[in-house]
Amino acid sequence: MSDTFTEELREYLKTEKEALKEKQLTNFWVLCDTDVFKPIKNLSEQQVEQILMDDPDKYGKRKIANIRIAFNISKKYANIFYISFVIVVMNISSKGELKTSNQKTLCINYNAIDIKIRKFKMSDVKRFLKLCKNGILNSDTMNGIYLNNALEKLEKKNILLDEV
């Protein structure tokens, strides 16, 4: 795979996008104060909050994350990213309400070089979720950071992504 947009890259992106779409993992929620990664799929923020509020004893004072994964299969925006995922970690109040204040965010973008170095894997999304919720690695959601830069930041902290 070269450093630019190629047919091989387009096919890789299409395959990954379809696989996640089929599994309904392009926009989902997950409780993130447990070691079990169990996506809550096909629900809006309001629907998720209603579930949380319906059982505050179970969900109150916990953390939940919304994870969105996007693919760019167009040459038009090739200079921006090919794959991007955004993690937003929120606290749940004792009443089961989502608290958007003090949320933690992380946006990881993949360019062609990033994909060449490390292909996109859902296991990496899980690892970045742990890093985000613990405040080890965060970014803004508008621009985010490229995968290679994120890995360099972790290396400076003596953290290897595969060991998270």
Q: Are 40 and 30 in contact (CB under 8 A)?
A: yes
Task: Tell me whether residue 2 is in a domain.
Answer: no
Which alpha helices (DSSP H) does 30-92 contain, by range? 45-54, 56-59
- Measure the CA angle with vertex 32, ends 117 and 56; round to 5°: 160
Task: Tell me whether residue 106 is in a domain.
Answer: yes
Q: What's the pTM value of the predicted model, to 2 decimals?
A: 0.93
Q: What is the pLDDT of residue 81?
A: 87
Task: Tell me whether residue 155 is in a domain.
Answer: yes
- Hey, how many other C-beta atoms are within 10 angstroms of the C-beta on 10? 14
Q: What is the pLDDT of residue 5?
A: 67
Number of domains in the chain: 1
Helix (H, G, I), strand (E, B) or coil at 107: strand
For residue 38, how many C-alpha atoms fall within 13 Å in the half-sphere facing its CB?
5
* Residue 61 belongs to domain spanning: 7-163
- pLDDT of the chain, 164 residues: tens digit per residue: 555 668 888 899 999 999 999 999 999 999 998 889 999 999 999 999 999 999 999 999 999 999 999 999 876 666 678 999 999 999 999 999 999 899 999 999 999 899 999 999 999 999 999 999 999 999 976 789 999 999 999 999 999 999 99
